Structure formats: structure tokens, C-alpha cells
């Protein structure tokens, strides 16, 4: 009898120890409070976020795409700071392959409380990094069995392996961080109903032929102005390479030339606090170097010739050429669509994720020209 009582008591204690409590999720705010928060966020988007800078509409998509500057604004609005952690990484220098995955946690400023998080992955084997476009420059049509394709402009091209794939690793790292930040910002704001992300990946430079406006071409067959970004980039590269082959452009640019180029580029976005950052993005997309101080004389001379004409006879200031400001804005918009695809400056290649974050949150003014 004593044994049965002790056994029953033990079984009762065991049942109490493993008792399961069923929890039912409860709403933490009223529908009125939720509606007010959504209204406040919509007001923030309409008053503080700029189209084609913080977000933009990709052709054939239903919702605007949230860009990195817009994700940063959302994070600041909610009083959180991004904290990046590498979740997984794999690389092979022999093949140029690299894949990296970041986790971005949005941490409440002044605390360790994680309010939202997002994941982002990027690989150098994505099409836009792994391949480069080769154009057919000979007369006649190329062979049929060598992979050549024809653009709408009747030019032939084919995709060839990128021989400098390792050089994209900094870019891949940067893109992975950006994707995780955008994902986290959409999470904390609940803005997925309004924005999407990474749709700019469909705008692959190496896969889409240059788009030209449906205007009448000049008699000599040259593309009409203003030039589309791809056309401008090709012309700039050809002009800079031609100058580099001559002794006249064998030296270094003067400080006056560097200062003039930097100042006039920023003047295109006069009154915009992001003018300097816009200049970095434009130069990086065209030349691969974000700072004017990293450019050689051939590039500086080419950019100045495209940008400026004679001085104003009254003020003495250099005047813009007719189409340069509009073309510059088109390039900046394209750079935002392709954001993260250009190689980062060499002096940033060894920065930690936190240092990249510091740059993204206001240290731009401290950078060199």
C-alpha cells in the first residue's frame, strides 16, 4: 500500500512538472492605433523620401523598389541602427567564385534590443558579375555559331566570362549588406505592401541592350542626345582610352582641374544635401572610381569636355554643355538601379561591416573629393 501511494504521488508531481499552457496570440494595438501608424508612415514616405533616389519604379513591375538610401531613412525614422553579421561565406580565388550572406539586425539606438532583422545574399556567379559584353566591331555579320546576338539597334554582342571576377568581391560584399538592410527596413516598417526589393537585379547591364529613345537619329547614324547611360559610358571610355595613348595626357591632373570637375558635378544637384554622394555614384558608375582624386588626366579631361563649354562672358563661370546635366541625372538613376555593382574604392576594401555602416549613416562629408 505504501508503494502505491508513493508511486501515485510521483506521477502527480510529474504531471504538474510537464503541464502545458496554451497561449492564444492577442492584438497589441487597436485597429485605430494601427491605422494611425500606417498614416504616419505614408506621410513620412510622401514628405521625406524622394523618387529615383530613395525608391524607384522598375519597368514592368507593379510596386516601387526600395533603394539603399530609402532603407537608411526608414531605419533612422524608427530610431534603430543596422548591425551586420556574416552568416555564411565561401570563396575560391582560382575561379573568382564568392558567395556571402549577411544578417542585418536593426537595434534600438542606446539599447541592445533587436527590433527587426533581414537576410541578404550575393554571389559573384550572378549573371551581372560573371559575364561581360563583347561587341562585334568588324564589318559584316558575325558567325552564326559563336553566340552572337542582335540588339534592337542592329548591333551584335555576346556574353563572355569576366576575366577579373575576383575584382567584384568587394562589390558582392557590399550588395549582400545592402540586400539585408533593405529586407530589415521593410520588416520593421511593414512597408512590403508599398515597396519591393532587389527588382533592380532585373536591370542587368550585361543582359539588356542599350535602350535609346524613339527619336529621329542624325544623318550620320549617331545616337540622339541626351545619351542613354550605356551609350555615354561607352563614349567616355573610348575617349579616355584614346587620350591615354597620347603624350599630351601623360601627366597628372591639376588641383584646379580636379576641383572644377568635383564642383560642377555637384552643381547639377545644387540645393540637394546628397549632391556629393550623387557625384560619387555617377563617377563610380562611369569610371569605376568614385573620387575625382583617383582619376588620371585622361579621365578628368574627358569628363570636363563632356560637362563644360565656354565661360559665361558676364560671370566668368563655366557653362554646362546642353545635355550634360540631363545625362548626369540619367546616369545617377541608373547607378541607383545598379547600386552595389561598382567596385568600392580601394581604401574601403578592408573596412569592417560596422565601418561601412558608419559611412552609410552620415560620414560621407568626411570623404575626400
pLDDT tens digit string along 93-117?
A: 999 999 999 999 999 999 999 999 9
Quick check: 135 and 120 in contact, CB under 8 A?
no
Give residue 6's pLDDT: 58
3-state secondary structure of 325: helix
Q: How far is CA 116 from CA 113, 189, 345, in A?
A: 9, 9, 30
Give residue 141's pLDDT: 82
Count Cβ atoms below 10 Å from residue 177 Cβ, excluding itself. 24
The number of helices, as runs of H, and strands, as runs of E, in the chain is 11, 10
Bridge partners of 98, per DSSP, are 91
Q: How far apart are CA 188 and CA 238, in angstroms?
A: 46
Cell matching residue 136: 562585334
Return mean pLDDT, the chain.
Answer: 79
Residue corresponding to grid cell 539586425: 105
Count Cβ atoms below 10 Å from residue 115 Cβ, excluding itself. 16
Q: How far apart are CA 210 and CA 62, in angstroms?
A: 23
Count Cβ atoms below 10 Å from residue 8 Cβ, excluding itself. 10
Share of the chain above pLDDT 70, in %: 73
Rg (CA), the chain: 27
3-state secondary structure of 275: helix
Q: How far apart are CA 332 and CA 183, in angstroms?
A: 23
Band of pLDDT at residue 183, cut at 50, 70 and 90: very high
pLDDT at 284 over 80: yes
Give residue 40's pLDDT: 92
Share of the chain above pLDDT 90, in %: 28
Contacting residues for 269 by C-beta, under 8 A, at least 6 apart: 275, 278, 279
Band of pLDDT at residue 56, cut at 50, 70 and 90: confident
Amino acid at each position: 500500500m505504501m508503494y502505491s501511494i508513493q508511486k501515485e504521488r510521483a506521477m502527480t508531481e510529474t504531471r504538474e512538472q510537464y503541464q502545458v499552457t496554451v497561449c492564444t496570440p492577442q492584438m497589441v494595438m487597436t485597429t485605430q492605433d494601427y491605422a494611425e501608424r500606417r498614416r504616419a508612415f505614408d506621410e513620412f514616405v510622401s514628405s521625406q523620401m524622394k523618387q529615383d533616389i530613395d525608391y524607384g519604379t522598375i519597368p514592368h513591375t507593379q510596386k516601387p523598389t526600395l533603394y539603399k538610401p530609402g532603407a537608411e531613412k526608414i531605419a533612422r525614422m524608427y530610431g534603430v541602427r543596422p548591425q551586420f553579421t556574416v552568416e555564411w561565406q565561401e570563396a575560391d580565388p582560382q575561379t573568382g567564385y564568392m558567395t556571402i550572406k549577411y544578417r542585418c539586425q536593426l537595434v534600438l539606438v542606446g539599447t541592445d534590443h533587436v527590433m527587426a532583422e533581414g537576410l541578404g545574399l550575393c554571389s559573384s556567379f550572378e549573371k551581372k558579375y560573371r559575364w561581360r559584353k563583347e561587341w562585334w566591331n568588324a564589318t559584316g555579320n558575325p558567325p552564326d555559331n559563336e553566340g552572337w546576338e542582335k540588339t534592337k539597334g542592329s548591333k551584335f554582342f555576346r556574353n563572355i566570362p569576366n576575366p577579373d571576377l575576383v575584382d567584384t568581391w568587394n562589390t558582392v560584399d557590399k550588395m549582400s549588406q545592402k540586400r539585408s538592410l533593405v529586407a530589415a527596413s521593410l520588416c520593421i516598417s511593414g512597408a512590403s505592401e508599398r515597396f519591393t526589393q532587389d527588382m533592380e537585379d532585373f536591370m542587368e547591364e550585361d543582359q539588356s541592350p542599350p535602350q535609346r529613345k524613339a527619336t529621329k537619329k542624325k544623318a550620320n547614324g549617331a545616337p540622339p542626345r541626351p545619351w542613354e547611360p550605356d551609350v555615354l559610358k561607352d563614349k567616355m571610355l573610348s575617349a579616355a582610352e584614346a587620350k591615354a595613348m597620347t603624350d599630351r595626357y601623360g601627366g597628372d591632373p591639376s588641383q584646379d582641374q580636379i576641383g572644377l570637375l568635383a564642383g560642377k558635378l555637384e552643381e547639377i544637384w545644387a540645393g540637394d544635401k546628397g549632391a556629393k554622394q550623387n557625384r560619387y555614384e555617377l563617377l563610380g558608375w562611369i569610371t569605376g572610381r568614385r573620387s575625382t582624386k583617383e582619376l588620371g588626366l585622361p579621365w578628368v579631361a574627358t569628363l570636363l569636355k563632356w560637362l563644360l563649354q565656354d565661360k559665361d562672358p558676364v560671370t566668368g563661370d563655366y557653362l554646362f554643355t546642353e545635355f550634360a546635366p540631363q545625362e548626369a541625372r540619367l546616369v545617377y538613376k541608373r547607378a541607383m538601379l545598379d547600386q552595389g555593382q561598382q567596385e568600392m574604392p580601394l581604401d574601403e576594401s578592408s573596412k569592417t561591416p560596422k565601418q561601412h555602416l558608419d559611412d552609410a549613416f552620415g560620414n560621407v562629408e568626411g570623404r575626400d573629393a
